[in-house]
Amino acid sequence: MRDVIVLGVGMTKFGELWNRSLRDIYVEAALSAIENAGVDHIDSMYVGAMSSGLFVQQEHLGAVLADYLGVNPIPATRVESACASGGAAFRQAYLEVASGASDIVLASGVEKMTDGADVTEVLATAADQEYEAFHGITFPGLYALIANAHMHQFKTTREQLAQVAVKNHHNGAKNPNAQFRSEVTLEQVMNSTMVADPLRLLDCSPVSDGAAAVIVASTDVARKLKKQIIRVKASAQASDTIALHNRRELTTLNAVSKAAEQAYRMAGMKPSDVDFAEVHDCFTIAEIVVSEDLGFFQKGCGGKAVAEGKTAIEGGVIPINTSGGLKSKGHPVGATGIAQIIELYEQLTGRAGERQVKDASVGLAQNMGGSGASCVIHILEGL
Amino acid sequence: MRDVIVLGVGMTKFGELWNRSLRDIYVEAALSAIENAGVDHIDSMYVGAMSSGLFVQQEHLGAVLADYLGVNPIPATRVESACASGGAAFRQAYLEVASGASDIVLASGVEKMTDGADVTEVLATAADQEYEAFHGITFPGLYALIANAHMHQFKTTREQLAQVAVKNHHNGAKNPNAQFRSEVTLEQVMNSTMVADPLRLLDCSPVSDGAAAVIVASTDVARKLKKQIIRVKASAQASDTIALHNRRELTTLNAVSKAAEQAYRMAGMKPSDVDFAEVHDCFTIAEIVVSEDLGFFQKGCGGKAVAEGKTAIEGGVIPINTSGGLKSKGHPVGATGIAQIIELYEQLTGRAGERQVKDASVGLAQNMGGSGASCVIHILEGL
C-alpha cells in the first residue's frame, strides 16, 4: 500500500444555516479544500452523509454533488455509517489512493439537519429500528443508559460529565467555524434542562448544518506541490452490535477499542505517542468512555481525568477536542468525521491559532456511529 | 494494485417478499456467498443500499447487517449511489482487496421496497430533488423523455422497445431467482397499461425485495482454496449531471460511455472482446441506449439490434441480460449491481443452466443510478 498524505482542507462554519442549501454549503467546503491543497483537478470523490434521504429527500448524493461542484465525469460515491459517515468516507478515499487507483481524491462530508425533518426521529434510524427506536428510545436515552452505568460502576460524577462540556466550549470559543463560540460554566451545564437523566441539554451536541472536505493524495503529488507532509499513519474501522442491550457491558465501546488496537498496530504507536485527539463527544459521557477505550486513561478514570484538566489544551497530558468537539463546534453528522481530520491538519501544520497544541506531531481522530456500532479511527503525523 | 478474484456468490430469490425482513434476506444471501466461496472468515464488508432510510427507516446499515450476520467487529460500510449502489459497493470491495488492506471482502447489496413506502416517491430521490422531483417528474417520465428523443432521432420503434422486454422475460423464465418467470409476447407488452408515453407497464422493471452477495479475494486466497479464477479485469465508475435537462443530448448517457472507455482501457479490451453483458434495463429504452454507449452497437442502432436477435442468448452476437435483467429478474435497487456480478460469475463458471452462453469467457456488468448520473462498470474474465 502506498503512503497517503492530507494535502489541504476546507469547511463551512457549522450552525443553523437556514438560508443555504445542502449543495451550496457542500460546494463552499469542497472548493475551499481544493484551493487550500493547490491541486488543479481531483480523480475521484467520496461524500459522507448519514441521511440526506430523510433530512432533505435527496439520495444519490455523490452524483448530485459532483455535478454541482462541476467535476463530472469523475467517480463520486456516497458512504454512510450514521454519525461515522465522514470518517468512513475519509477511509475509502485513503484506500483508493493507497491502492494506486487514484492520486488525488476528495474526501468530504455534509449534513443539512435544520430543513424541517424531525431530527431526533431521523437520528434514531442509526439505532436498531426494530428493537430500540420502535420502542421509543432515542440517542439521548441510549447514552443516558451508558452514563448511568458508568456513574454506578466507576463513581463517575455529574460534575465530571459537565467538565467535558465546559472544556469543549472553552476550546470551541476559539474556533471561528464553531456553532457555539461561547464559554459555559459548570453551573450552567449542571442546571440546564434535563433531557434524559443524567444528561442535560448542555451535555448534548447540537443539531447542525455543515460541510467539510479534505484532499488526500499520494506522496509524489505532495512533493511536487512542495506541501508539508501530513501522513495518514493509520486507518482502522470496526463494528459492534447495533443494539445497546446486546452488549456484554455498557461502559466499554468494543468497536472503539478494536479499531484503536488496529490503528496503533498499523501506526506502530501506543496511546502515549498521541499528542492530541479529536473524539466523538455526541454526549459528554461519550468523550469520557472513548478516552478510556482509546487507552488514554484506565477504564473508569476518564471522568476524573477531565476534571483534573488532563484533556485540556493548557497543561493537559493529552488535549482532547481542541476544536470544541461535537459539543461546541457542532455536529452536522456526515461532516463531523471530516471536520475532525481538518482539526488534526490545522494542529499538525501549526495553523490552529489560539487553540494550538504545542509541539503537536501526532493526532488521532475517532468518529463513531449510533451508540458505537461503528467506529473509524485515523492517526495523522506531521513531518 | 493486486489482482482481485470473485470467489463465490449467493442471492435470495427476487420478488415481493412480504413475510421477510431486510435483515433476514440479507443474511440468507451473505451466508450463501460465504458458503459458496468456501471461506472461514471475511476481513471486511460493504453493503450497497439506495434508501433503507426512506424504505424501512433504518440507516447505519453496515453495522446492522454485520451484527445480524454475526461478523462483528469487522469493518462494515454502506455505499450509496442510487440504483448503482450494488455496483459501487462491489467497486469499494475491489479497491480494498486491490490495495492490499484486506484479503477477503464481502460485497453485497440489499433493498426492501415493499414494506409500505411510496416507492415512486422514494426512487425519485435519485433524481434532482430541487429541479426534477420537486416539479413532479419521476423516473418513468424521465426515461420516457429519453425514449421519445431516441425514437425521434433514430427512428427507434415502439416494437423495438417491446422486444427488449420479450427477450428479457424469455431469459428470466429460466432463472430460478427471477421475480417474473413468465414469458411475455410482443402484443402483451404493446398493449399493457400506459405509464409514461411511450413506456408501458411491461417496459418498466418491477418493485422488488432482494439481497445479493459476492466474496472477492486476492489471488493467493483463490489459489489456496483451489477455486476457478474469475478475475476482475476492470472496475470503472463515472458521473454525469444529476438532471436530465442539463445534458447536451438525451440519447447518450455520458457516464456510461466514459466508464466504458475506462473499463476497456483497464482491461486492455474492446467491446467485441466481451462475450455477454448484464446491463441496467430499468426501462426497455435504457437497455437500448446503454447497449450503444457500451460500444456493442453504433449509436441509434440498439433498437434494431434487439429486434434482429443480436442480443439473444441463442444466435446472438452479444447476449444481453441473460439473467432476465432488471425487467424480469426484478430490481431491488441496492442488490441489482451485485446480482449482475453473480450472473457473470454463473456464466463464467458454466453454471447458468438453460441460460448458459456458449464459450463465455469475458462478461461485462453495467449498473447505473437515476437517469444515468452515476455508472459503474466491471469486466470479469474466467480463466
| Residues 6+ positions from B383 with CB-CB distance below 8 Å | B228, B229, B230, B231, B361
Question: Phi then psi for B10, rounded to 5 degrees?
Answer: -160, 145
Q: How confident is the model at residue B128 (pLDDT cuts 50, 70, 90)?
A: very high
Q: How confident is the model at residue A383 (pLDDT cuts 50, 70, 90)?
A: confident
- Of A46, A321, A32, A320, nearest to A178 by C-alpha is A321
Catalytic position from the list B169, B331, B375, B378: B331
Q: Rounded mean pLDDT of A81-100? A: 98
Of B54, B77, B238, the CB nearest to A73: B238
Domains of chain B: 4-118+207-224 (3.40.47.10), 135-204+233-382 (3.40.47.10)
- What was the pLDDT predicted at B383? 83
Calpha distance A223→A7 (Å, rounded): 10
Is the Cβ pair B239, A129 closer than 8 Å?
A: no
The amino acid occupying position A156 is T
Q: Rounded mean pLDDT of B26-38? A: 98
ipTM of the complex: 0.97
Calpha distance A276→A283 (Å, rounded): 19
Q: How far is B129 from chain A (nearest CA, A)?
A: 6
The amino acid occupying position A325 is G
Tell me the three cell numbers of residue B329.
429478474
Of B57, B101, B130, the CB nearest to A95: B101
3-state secondary structure chain B: CCCEEEEEEEECCCECCCCCCHHHHHHHHHHHHHHHHCCCCCCEEEEECCCHHHHHCCCCHHHHHHHHHCCCCCCEEEEEECECHHHHHHHHHHHHHHHCCCCEEEEEEEEECCCCCCHHHHHHHHCCCCCCHHHCCCHHHHHHHHHHHHHHHHCCCHHHHHHHHHHHHHHHCCCCCCCCCCCCCHHHHHHCCEEECCEEHHHECCCCEEEEEEEEEEHHHHHHCCCCCEEEEEEEEEECCCCHHHCCCCCCCHHHHHHHHHHHHHHCCCHHHCCEEECCCCEHHHHHHHHHHCCCCCCCCHHHHHHCCCCCCCCCCCCECCCCHHHHHCCCHHHHHHHHHHHHHHHHCCCCHHHCCCCCCEEEEEEEECCCCEEEEEEEEEC
What value does the mean pLDDT of chain B take? 98
Q: How far is A107 from chain B (nearest CA, A)?
A: 14
Calpha distance B348→B274 (Å, rounded): 12
Q: pLDDT of B283-295, one tens digit each?
A: 999 999 999 999 9
Is the Cβ pair B73, A239 closer than 8 Å?
A: yes
Q: pLDDT of B311-336, one tens digit each?
A: 999 999 999 999 999 999 999 999 99
Q: Rounded mean pLDDT of B199-203? A: 98
Of A60, A127, A241, the CB nearest to B72: A241
Q: How far is B366 from chain A (nearest CA, A)?
A: 14
Q: pLDDT of A111-161, one tens digit each?
A: 999 999 999 999 999 999 999 999 999 999 999 999 999 999 999 999 999
Q: pLDDT of B84-120, one tens digit each?
A: 999 999 999 999 999 999 999 999 999 999 999 999 9
On the 0-12 / 13-18 / 19+ scale of CB atoms within 10 A, B176 is: exposed
Does the CB of B116 have a partner CB in chain A at under 8 Å? no
The amino acid occupying position A186 is L
Task: Decide: B45 and B106 in contact? Cβ < 8 Å.
Answer: yes
Catalytic position from the list A204, A331, A375, A378: A331
- What was the pLDDT predicted at B197? 98
Is-above-0.90 flag for pTM? yes
Tell me the percentage of chain B whose pLDDT exceeds 90.
Answer: 100
Residues of chain B found within 8 Å of residue A374, distances taken between Cβ atoms:
60, 62-63, 76
Does the CB of A78 have a partner CB in chain B at under 8 Å? yes
Calpha distance B7→B372 (Å, rounded): 29
Q: Rounded mean pLDDT of B197-206? A: 98
B330 Ramachandran zone, left/alpha/beta (phi>0; psi -120 to 50): left
What value does the mean pLDDT of chain A take? 98
pLDDT at A250 over 90: yes
Between positions 33 and 62 of B, the ones with CB within 8 A of A are 44, 50-51, 53-54, 56-62
A107 Ramachandran zone, left/alpha/beta (phi>0; psi -120 to 50): beta
Q: How far is B8 from chain A (nearest CA, A)?
A: 23
| Residues 6+ positions from B231 with CB-CB distance below 8 Å | B3, B4, B5, B6, B380, B381, B382, B383
Does the CB of A185 have a partner CB in chain B at under 8 Å? no
Q: How confident is the model at residue A295 (pLDDT cuts 50, 70, 90)?
A: very high
Does the CB of B92 have a partner CB in chain A at under 8 Å? yes
Q: Rounded mean pLDDT of A48-67? A: 98
Between positions 240 and 259 of A, the ones with CB within 8 A of B are 240-243, 246, 254-255, 258-259
Is residue B331 annotated as a catalytic residue, yes or no? Answer: yes
Q: Rounded mean pLDDT of B110-134? A: 96
Of A64, A67, A125, the CB nearest to B59: A125
Calpha distance A138→B29 (Å, rounded): 30
pLDDT at B303 over 90: yes
Q: How far is A188 from chain B (nearest CA, A)?
A: 34
B14 Ramachandran zone, left/alpha/beta (phi>0; psi -120 to 50): beta
- What was the pLDDT predicted at A29? 98
